Chains A and B, each alone.
Chain A
Amino acid sequence: MRIPGLRILAALGFVAIAVAACGNNPSTQQKLSGGTATFAEAPNAKPNYIFPLTSGGFFSVANLSQFQFFMYRPLYWFGQDGKVQLNSSLSLASDPVYTDGGKTVTMKLKGWKWSDGQPITSRDVEFWMNLLKANVAHWAAYAPGEFPDNVTAMSFPDSQTIVFTLDKAYGSLFFTFNELSQITPLPQHVWDKTSDSQAVGDYDRDATQAAAIYKYLDGQSKSIGTYDNNPLWQVVSGPWKLKSMTTDGHVAMVPNKGYSGPVKPTLAEFDEQPYTTDTAEFNVIHSGGVDYGYIPVQDVDQRNSLTKYTFTPWIGWQITYFQINFANATNGALYKQLYMRQAMQHLVDQTSYIKNLFKGFAYPDYGPVPIKPANNFADAFEQSNPYPFDVSAATKLLKDNGWTVNAGGVSTCTNPGTGAGQCGAQIASGQKASFKLEYASGTVVVAQEMQALKTDWSKAGLEVNLSEAPFDTVISDAFGGSTAADMDNWGGGWIFAPDYYPTGDEIFSTGAGSNGGAYSNATNDANTVATTTSNDVAALHTYEDFLAKDLPVIWIPVNDSQLSLVKKTLHGWDPQDALLQFYPENWYFTSS
């Protein structure tokens, strides 16, 4: 028996399902060419420096990953499919080849071109190296003895080949991820001069002239309003060229039609918009005025009501901790005792902070290697939480080492001395477990976290006197030997970029430039050196396991770098890069 009505109904149902399926699948939606995509800059994180040889004041994600890299591509690109790994496809050179037991490295360029049609050659790499060697004091990533000091000789057999001779044998992981990653070929045929009127020459081969070139290019970078019409900045290697820029951080980029990379932009333009506060940005999100933005963590419960947007947390390649000052006159002796650091770490309730303060948008940190995104650098031990939240364990550690614990008050050393069961060297009888912790103001969740920590530590009689200060002040105090506090939390920990292999040689080695707490341990130093010379990731595991146990700092949860909101009509942005770079050349709009 035929039932026409039922057949029509079935057909309509089929069509409806097909339409619905098309609506959810970008591959079946109509891909639009052109359009302008807008990206919201983080509050007060606006780009303001274009020259890739960047000094400390401008060495930021906003300037490098989210501005310079669009125009000036590093020799080796890191970040692929959301993971921290060498991206051979986007690199300007083929994978480096190590010979002579790791003392020589050879790189071959791919023959890509600058935007003016000139080839990118080994001379452009040499230009970078010459500028770097003559101006290391101005380069934020410089650490004495490391790159470029460890390159003892350079040769350029042809226009596409670069050979470095190193001062000793290095592991390929370390040298590629942390040293070669810092090379950015520069357009020597345009920039090799010391003034506007001078003709381009080979001035960089003389150190004095190389310093003058730096001064000239740095000077040209000091006028943001002229970036868009300064001919120097018009020759680029990346997929984008600068269209316009203002001093308050508005950036407009248009495609570099001569880009040689595998993916060419299809957007007509992409813009970065500055925001004074995350509230101002969120107001714009409400009205749909930005394509790629974020939701403040305090408003995250509203995410489901923003139906035009896809919500995706953005996880960065970083660790988070607060620094303890081993050299502090009052409490340095306490910090030098492992049992004390263990007790402190036992009293950090990371699970609770993540759930209640960060609303689930954070993950625990138990050691010096980031555990997210998933990677083979962080081993099982580090991720096992060696010092779980345990007030009893913390109390026992203190009691077993000569302290009279006064829960809710201040514990006191009552058995001084260096023997078993005693407080330890330079800790006098009656010394109180009372500490001063300074943290960065301006972020509600950081203040809440420090208040929670104060409460948790008091459960074993560790008193924390909190003070709040602007980020700059905390940084200044943490690394400037200030006695304003003996613990410092600047709210950011450490981001591993552009030294992507998380060896910690800059932060935990004895005397390292960014080891503000003056932590010093011979075993750690040896382990760290091994991470730089070994080709085996096991060396990194040894290093991280030791520091996860030895606690050079107090580990606290890593919050997601950004809680992204992306318009549902914008595609090609997923997955988000752990190195906080993004790829608008992959983006495109669909009609719905």
Chain B
Amino acid sequence: MTGFLVRRLGQSGIVVLGVTIITFVLTRLLPGGVARAILGPRASPIEIADFNHTNGLDLPGWQQYFYYLGQLAHGNLGFSYRLNESVGGLLQDHLPKTIILLGISTLVALAIAVPLGMMQAVRRNRLEDYFFTSLSFALYSMPPFWLALILIVFFSANLNVLPPVGPQGAISTYLDPAQISALVLPVAALALVTIALFSRYMRSSMLDNLVQDYVRTARAKGVSTTGVLYRHVLRNALIPIVTLLGLSLPGIFSGALITEAIFNYPGMGLLFWDSAQTRDYPVLLGVTVVVAVATVVGNLLADVFYAVVDPRVRVAA
């Protein structure tokens, strides 16, 4: 198991390094000069030259990359000349907000989708199964922006019971009641779609497992229906959900651009989008590295959790 982890970590490092090279090259291929774009129409040639020198933009590309890599090794992700803040500071501000939004919505989705999928599997082809299957299809096929707008129209504009924007201001205020209520709609917009996805996987996985021999054996040994479901079937049925969770980890770090834009929620998705629009290279690189690390770690964690929930993986490792 240890050897497996070491190998995977080594591979992960190479992947992250590759991502930095590709992103660095791609950002330099974007059209237009950075200095003029940042400084605007009033900028004098002196100011432009000064800007390029201060930010190392007058160096050859490869030197800029190695300088960046050196800084990265020291934990310095760079400085955003457009947003006037270190990339580390920006991530410190935006990342927790995205983790809160995506994390809560994922947990809510899991808390509902797992029992829902189980219930549908156990009561398959009955009225409640048909009802929730239809609802899941409806929610999953809805574009997220449309679902978000429907929620805003209904709960904010018509009923006026929830704010149309997510929590605003410093994250230290997020525990205020007003801020918590502001989180309801964005979390709901994300969770509803995820519930639909997870519950379908859960139902399908449960159905696969319910007809397995070990279930028949357990029942023959006199294990109760509840015991079979919760102690045997659930554990095996969760394997595809673990895969999904592992794959969704990068999303938790990279943000949900559309939902963030609609609910005016300053998370990682918007930060990345704005940076791409304004050629804010340091932020683009910083966010990409963080998301790359999250992707690699997500896959690693998924592998580890396989071992936890499925003893066969442990034995093989």
Contacts and interface: CB of A to CB of B under 8 A. Distances in A.
Interface of A: 44, 48-49, 55-59, 136-138, 140-144, 221-225, 244, 246-248, 250, 273-277, 279-281, 283-284, 286-287, 289, 469-470, 472-473, 475-480, 482, 484, 490, 494, 506, 513-514, 516
Given A248-B94, A280-B262, A470-B278, A223 B42 contact: no
Contact of B44 (A144, A244, A494): A144
Nearest to B170: A246
Contacts of B240: none
Nearest to A484: B31
Contact of B85 (A141, A225, A274, A478): A225
Most buried by A among B33, B84, B169: B84
A78 to B, nearest CB: 18
Given A225-B85, A513-B42, 9 more contacts: A137-B47, A222-B79, A225-B89, A246-B93, A246-B169, A283-B157, A286-B156, A472-B277, A480-B36
B177 to A, nearest CB: 16
A140 B47 contact: yes
Most buried by A among B36, B94, B163, B266: B36
Contact of A143 (B44, B82, B270): B44
Nearest to B37: A472
Nearest to B152: A283
Nearest to A477: B32
B21 interface: no
Contacts of B37: 472-473, 475-476
A553 B262 CA distance: 38
A225 B266 contact: no
Most buried by B among A280, A472, A480: A472
A143 B45 CA distance: 10
Nearest to A473: B32
Interface string B81-98: 111111001100110000
A475 B32 CA distance: 9
11 contacts: A48-B85, A57-B38, A57-B39, A247-B83, A280-B165, A284-B165, A284-B264, A469-B31, A469-B32, A513-B43, A514-B42
**9 smallest beta-carbon distances between A and B, as pairs:** A56-B39, A472-B37, A476-B32, A248-B266, A283-B164, A280-B264, A56-B43, A473-B32, A476-B37
Contacts of B157: 283, 286-287
Interface in B50-70: 50-51
Contacts of A55: 39, 47, 51
B47 A58 contact: no
B261 interface: yes
A140 B279 contact: no
Contacts of A470: 277-278
- What DSSP secondary structure best describes chain A's contact surface? loop
Contacts of A279: 262
Interface of B: 31-34, 36-47, 50-51, 79, 81-86, 89-90, 93-94, 152, 156-157, 160, 163-165, 168-170, 260-264, 266, 270, 274, 277-279
Nearest to A506: B42
A473 B31 CA distance: 7
B119 to A, nearest CB: 35
Nearest to A441: B277
A407 B279 CA distance: 40
B100 to A, nearest CB: 14
Nearest to B49: A137
A60 to B, nearest CB: 8
Most buried by B among A248, A277, A469: A248
A59 B164 CA distance: 32
Contacts of A246: 93, 169-170
Contacts of B277: 470, 472
A284 B84 CA distance: 28
Contact of A276 (B85, B90, B270): B270
Contact of B32 (A49, A136, A480): A480
A225 B278 CA distance: 22
Contacts of B94: 247-248
Nearest to A275: B264
A247 B90 contact: yes
Given A142-B44, A287-B156, A224 B164 contact: no
B32 A223 contact: no
B84 A283 contact: no
Most buried by B among A247, A480, A506: A247
B143 to A, nearest CB: 15
B164 A141 contact: no
A142 B39 CA distance: 13
B214 to A, nearest CB: 51
Contacts of B51: 55-57
Contact of A140 (B43, B86, B274, B278): B43
B77 to A, nearest CB: 14
Contacts of B152: 283
